[in-house]
Amino acid sequence: MWSVARTSGMISLLLLTGTLLVGIMARSGRAFGGLSRYTQSLLHRSFSLLCVIFVMLHVLSLLADSYAKMQIIDIFVPFLGDYRPFWQGLGTVSFLLMIAIALTGLLRRHLGQRVFRGIHLTAYLMWPIAVAHGLGTGTDAGTLWYRIVTVISIGLVLAAAIWRLTANYLDHSATRRLAREGVKL
């Protein structure tokens, strides 16, 4: 079970990073990689679904692993675990945020845009918490390959966030907003 927990945790981090990257890029309103908005949305949802599946596999395999000593309550109440409670608690917080984000994604049509967006924006909080969880409790966190993957993930997300917030994006965003309001340029 330990190998499954380890592998699914790392895959989850990569999928979560991919989800965040595609979400940032798609939300920017600018084309990237020649992908249509539909394809961007499909990629975002596919990465998200796969991420949820792998996180569930990660959690369930840890519950089944006698060394991890994880109990069901540890999934829902952070910082109670026996094994590295702070770092495990960060995993719990990230997991709970992921569930909230996934549910709002599924219920988007029934929620107001403000509620959906407010909860969905917690992904910007969830991702660094998940990264910290992996660095603090991950068995491979001390290995060179894990650190390289983590640094690349952090670099990609930071680059995407900076790209989104560049002056061109802000100009484009203002143009879109004015167009929605019926102002001709």
Q: What is the DSSP letter of 108?
A: G
Say if residue 135's pLDDT is above 70: yes
Assigned domain for 166 exists: yes
What's the pLDDT band for 63 if we cut at 50, 70, 90? very high
Average the pLDDT over 18-36 and give the result: 82
Give the pLDDT confidence of 136-182 residue by residue, as tens digits: 998 899 999 999 999 999 999 999 888 888 856 555 555 566 666 66
Say if residue 28's pLDDT is above 80: no
Say if residue 183's pLDDT is above 70: no
Assigned domain for 23 exists: yes
Q: Which two tokens stand for residue 62?
A: 């840890």
What is the number of structural domains in the chain? 1
Assigned domain for 12 exists: yes
Q: Which residues make Cβ contacts (< 8 Å) with residue 32, sequence separation at least 6?
A: 25, 40
Assigned domain for 146 exists: yes
Q: Which two tokens stand for residue 1?
A: 């079970």
Average the pLDDT over 14-19 and give the result: 96
pLDDT computed for residue 112 by the predictor = 87
pTM equals 0.85
C-alpha triplet 177, 180, 185: angle, nearest 5°:
75
3-class SS letters over 122-166 = CHHHHHHHHHHHHHHHCCCCCCHHHHHHHHHHHHHHHHHHHHHCC
Assigned domain for 119 exists: yes
Assigned domain for 185 exists: no
Q: What domain range is 113 assigned to?
A: 2-180
pLDDT computed for residue 88 by the predictor = 95
Long-range Cβ contacts of 94-102 (<8 Å, 24+ apart):
94/126, 94/129, 94/130, 94/133, 95/55, 95/59, 97/122, 97/123, 97/125, 97/126, 97/129, 98/16, 98/51, 98/52, 98/55, 98/126, 101/126, 102/48, 102/52
Assigned domain for 169 exists: yes
Say if residue 184's pLDDT is above 60: no
Assigned domain for 81 exists: yes
Average the pLDDT over 26-53 and give the result: 85
Check: CB of residue 14 under 8 Å from CB of residue 149. yes
Number of CB atoms found within 10 A of residue 134's CB: 25
Give the pLDDT confidence of 69-127 residue by residue, as tens digits: 899 999 999 999 888 999 999 999 999 999 999 999 899 899 988 998 999 999 999 99
